[in-house]
């Protein structure tokens, strides 16, 4: 298979590139800047801004001859101007779809997020029939939902598509979830929100990558898999704050001692958002309503569809993956296994 991965410099995209290469596929990584690490590993790297005005035409050249495109690139931020989220998530995805059609690519696997169905209440064991909410609490889930809808609507005879929704991806090479937790903890800014017993799904990077490879195969071999979204996780939810406590311990850090109720956190977040919005601040506020709710509510999902249609099966539990990833205090920097 000849594959193209957008966002190859990212945590997920880079891991997908390395796995595909290890399986003997011809891999091209597309990103906004040169990637000497991937190139040193023998992976072709193409520099292309996905939100440029002529991105679709330029991407089509990079996609030429590809059997499958994995669109992992995204604008992942907690705060910022709406136009940046719309360009980075919706516009970039529409450009990738257009480029696939121009280049005659037959398959497109989109890395989405369970946050596209996030609401201001617990989500317990829901499946993909859960509708998008009427309104989203933040621009990231709002624009990811729009991008996901565009990908699924593009599914047809000429271009087979599907979307994966991995939840809270972690593991060796992580540049987002665990590093953010550690940074806040070391700065004394990590506060437990809610009662501390909320259950969440997490996804080990190796299994997240496996889901992407399986998705590409399913689009080719199982017609019923296309045009659909799939939740991906380790399959068994764990207490979020218990997991965070274990991650901190494995990095030699003390447990979280400061606590605040969800009601108080939402009040503080609402005030912070108002200040940031009034003064047009671009950097992240200390707390947002979306983040407060994510830290205090249940978020776990039924992965039966992924098991049935993609052949996906988690390789280990969340706890096993956590020990494997951080038993020696390791976090960002080490890539996921090939």
Report, as residue numbers or ranges, the catalytic residues.
140
Would you say 239 and 199 are in contact if contact means Cβ atoms under 8 Å apart? yes
In DSSP terms, 57 is beta-bridged to none
- CA–CA gap between residue 288 and residue 270 (Å, rounded): 7
Backbone angles phi and psi of 243, in degrees to 5: -65, -45
The span from the CA of 22 to the CA of 209, in Å, is: 12
State how beta strands 238-239 and 199-200 pair.
antiparallel
Nearest partner of 174 among 108, 76, 258, judged by Cα = 76
DSSP-assigned letters across all residues of 122-173: -EEEE-TTPPPPSS-SSHHHHHHHHHHHHHHHT-SSS-EEEEEEE-SEESTT
Asked if 164 and 148 count as a contact pair (C-beta separation under 8 A), the reply is: no
Tokens of 319: 């706890």
Helix (H, G, I), strand (E, B) or coil at 262: helix
Which of 231, 164, 155, 178 lies closest to 16 in space, CA to CA? 164
CA distance 30 to 50: 9
Task: Name 333's bridge partners.
Answer: 331
Cβ atoms within 10 Å, residue 68: 26
Cα separation, 225 vs 3, whole angstroms:
19
For residues 301 and 239, give the distance between their C-alpha atoms in angstroms, rounded to a whole number.
14
Provide the 10 A C-beta neighbour count for residue 47.
Answer: 13
Whole-angstrom Cα distance, residue 112 to residue 229? 8
């Amino acid at each position: 298979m000849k594959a193209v991965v957008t966002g190859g410099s990212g945590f997920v995209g880079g891991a997908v590139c390395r796995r595909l290469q290890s399986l003997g596929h011809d891999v091209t990584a597309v990103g906004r800047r040169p990637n000497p690490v991937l190139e040193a590993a023998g992976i072709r790297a193409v520099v292309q801004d996905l939100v440029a005005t002529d991105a679709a035409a330029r991407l089509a050249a990079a996609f030429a001859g590809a059997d499958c495109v994995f669109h992992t690139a995204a604008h992942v931020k907690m705060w910022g101007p709406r136009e940046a989220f719309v360009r980075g998530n919706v516009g970039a995805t529409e450009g990738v779809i257009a480029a696939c059609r121009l280049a005659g690519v037959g398959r497109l696997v989109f890395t989405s997020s369970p946050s596209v169905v996030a609401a201001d209440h617990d989500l317990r064991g829901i499946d993909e029939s859960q509708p998008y909410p009427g309104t989203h609490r933040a621009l990231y889930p709002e624009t990811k939902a729009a991008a996901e809808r565009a990908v699924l609507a593009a599914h047809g005879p000429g271009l087979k598509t599907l979307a994966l929704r991995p939840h809270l991806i972690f593991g060796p090479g992580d540049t987002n979830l665990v590093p953010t937790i550690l940074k806040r903890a070391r700065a004394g800014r990590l506060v437990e929100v809610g009662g501390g017993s909320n259950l969440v799904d997490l996804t080990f990077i190796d299994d997240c990558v496996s889901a992407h490879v399986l998705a590409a195969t399913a689009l080719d071999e199982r017609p019923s898999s296309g045009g659909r979204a799939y939740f991906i996780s380790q399959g068994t939810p764990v207490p979020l704050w218990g997991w965070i406590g274990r991650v901190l311990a494995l990095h030699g850090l003390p447990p979280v001692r400061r606590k605040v109720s969800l009601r108080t956190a939402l009040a503080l977040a609402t005030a912070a958002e108002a200040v940031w919005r009034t003064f047009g601040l671009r950097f992240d506020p200390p707390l947002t309503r979306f983040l407060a709710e994510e830290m205090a509510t249940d978020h776990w999902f039924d992965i039966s569809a992924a098991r049935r249609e993609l052949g996906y099966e988690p390789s280990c539990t969340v706890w096993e993956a956590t020990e494997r990833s951080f038993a020696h205090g390791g976090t960002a920097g080490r890539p996921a296994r090939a």
